[in-house]
Structure 1
């Protein structure tokens, strides 16, 4: 209310000064009505709902009195005429002056001196003690901290004479002051504990949320890994199935070839197979088909993988080096440098010569030892592109298949 009165007083003075300078006396109010909501606890005036909500948030005071209509008065910009002032009755003038007279409110002197010794200006100390109810130093300091941004914080507060008389009361006893300070400290402690509990709940919620996200991410990773392993196993089974089918077809072809050589008619695929009689001892020995070079290469690579199963990097390096040698010969069959390998070469020994089956694989592809086992050499006329292609296919399969040589 004091703040609103001060703003109105300044507006009136400015209007009167403008009227004296320009002789303009016709003024109209251009601002919206200002609320005057007074806190019943500490007397803080609030001019809007926003300011009232902010004050409640800061102090916890939620009880306000609406005094907007009491302070709303018409603004008189023209100075009162002397004749009108003379015609007023003495009694009426004295009554009007008494009702409008504003004085500095009384505050506790000991508390006032303590605030001054702390460095607070007299006006600020008086205002803080007045609006905090002269209760304690702590209450006054809290009031200053809450209202330090008020434009009239360093203006001496004024109250009507009647309000001063009604507000005059004996100061609190030391016991009451001590009790009041204890209540304030207890209230601040409880508020701090509640705030700490609230923050702890928030932190616990955040920890739970992060834990759930980590568990979900781990579950998704395990699910993806499981799907990847299943896909690899499925691909391995498909490869084994194709290999068995090729072997079966090859056996059928060999069987048909043997029947043709023996002069027997081809076997009807739809005819039921008769029960095979017990073979006689003389016909029990059938010619065994020698293993093809592709099968020997596969067995050689499988043996290499199983021999060095604890060193996957070494096995993979050997496979890639063999693939490089075979590829160079297949792409450049006329270049002798690609068909001749020095056995005591350190790089060759580290990658191929030191692993079991490396030199044997090259010999299956056509390489031969020469010059006292110092070189591996593949003669130009002995190059078989079909054999080299089969070797490349077997090496690619061994490199790409993670289960090669395991089963």
Structure 2
């Protein structure tokens, strides 16, 4: 509230004369009403601690509730992942079982075909050996009365030749069994023996094919150091000469029937995957 007070003037003329001064001498009176709220009561230390504890408990409870919610979510995720893993494992096991059965079936069929092929090969080799083991024609005029008949002589020579063939086969079996874990070395030995035998059978008059240096490193690595290698060549007619420095096959001891049989045995051993493995040492 504002109050204005003016000084008293005796006449109106004085009022107009002193009006500017009146304005400068105005007095203001202001009445101010100030409402002051009553002060809040001051909390005690104990009340503050109780309030603080309540806030901490509330925060802890909210945190525990959040952790429980997250744990439930994680448990649901673990269950879902476990089901997916179990299903994937079951599918993988089913596929593996199917592949195993298919593989076993294929192996049995392959083994059956291999055995049939081996049987046919052995049958063919047997027929070929029978054809090649026949005696050459003999002149009746040169036959002595004391000599056995042609039929008996054929039987005798056939038995002897079959015995030689069995010895050749046993040498190859021994070589294969002694190095059954090194197929490449066995195959190389068979190929080398086949070359030696084939060269002599095709060129019996050439001495270079009928003489082998035993100390030759190549011969030693391929045949000489392998069990049964040199024995096989000796069964083919090769002999040790010059203090075991050479293997030599004299021209008059070249037996084409034995050499051909040796070649057939080597080829049979190379083509038969079960050669030397199904027989006992």
TM-score category of the 2 structures, normalised to the smaller one: 0.5 to 0.7
Structure 2 partner of 1:215: 97
Structure 1 partner of 2:245: 374
Alignment of 1:239-278 (within 5 A): 239-242=121-124
Name the SS of the counterpart of 1:319 in structure 2: helix
Preserved contact between residue 201 and residue 259 of structure 2 (Cα < 8 Å): yes
Structure 1 partner of 2:193: 322
Describe the superposition over 1:213-242 as per-residue Cα deviations: whole angstroms up to 9, x where unpaired: 333333333333222222222223333444
Preserved contact between residue 325 and residue 338 of structure 1 (Cα < 8 Å): yes
More helix by percentage: 2
Alignment of 1:52-71 (within 5 A): none
Does residue 1:402 correspond to 2:280, yes or no? no
Partner Cα distance (1:375, 1:180) in 2: 100
- Could you state the TM-score of these two structures normalised by the residue count of structure 2? 0.53
**Once the 2 structures are TM-superposed, how far is the Cα of residue 193 of structure 1 from its aligned partner?**
1.6
Does residue 1:304 correspond to 2:186, yes or no? no
Preserved contact between residue 323 and residue 395 of structure 1 (Cα < 8 Å): yes
Residue 291 of structure 1: which of 158, 180, 185 is its match? 158
Describe the superposition over 1:173-232 as per-residue Cα deviations: whole angstroms up to 9, x where unpaired: 998887666555433332222122112211222222223333333333333322222222
Partner Cα distance (1:248, 1:351) in 2: 31
Preserved contact between residue 293 and residue 364 of structure 1 (Cα < 8 Å): no
Preserved contact between residue 294 and residue 390 of structure 1 (Cα < 8 Å): no
Structure 1 gaps of 5+ residues are 1-172, 262-285
Partner Cα distance (2:231, 2:98) in 1: 51
Structure 1 pair 179–348 and aligned structure 2 pair: CA distance change class (3 A): closer
Partner Cα distance (2:269, 2:156) in 1: 25
Structure 2 gaps of 5+ residues are 1-54, 141-151
Partner Cα distance (2:68, 2:99) in 1: 46
- Could you state the TM-score of these two structures normalised by the residue count of structure 1? 0.39
Question: What is the aligned length?
Answer: 207
Partner Cα distance (2:131, 2:202) in 1: 32
Partner Cα distance (2:263, 2:270) in 1: 11
Does residue 1:345 correspond to 2:213, yes or no? no
Describe the superposition over 1:85-125 as per-residue Cα deviations: whole angstroms up to 9, x where unpaired: xxxxxxxxxxxxxxxxxxxxxxxxxxxxxxxxxxxxxxxxx
Name the SS of the counterpart of 1:290 in structure 2: helix
Compute the RMSD of aligned alpha carbons: 4.5
Partner Cα distance (2:198, 2:124) in 1: 26
Preserved contact between residue 237 and residue 253 of structure 2 (Cα < 8 Å): yes
Name the SS of the counterpart of 1:304 in structure 2: helix
Residue 231 of structure 1: which of 113, 116, 121 is its match? 113
Partner Cα distance (1:385, 1:373) in 2: 25
Structure 1 pair 345–292 and aligned structure 2 pair: CA distance change class (3 A): farther
Alignment of 1:32-181 (within 5 A): none
Preserved contact between residue 304 and residue 315 of structure 1 (Cα < 8 Å): no
Partner Cα distance (2:215, 2:254) in 1: 24
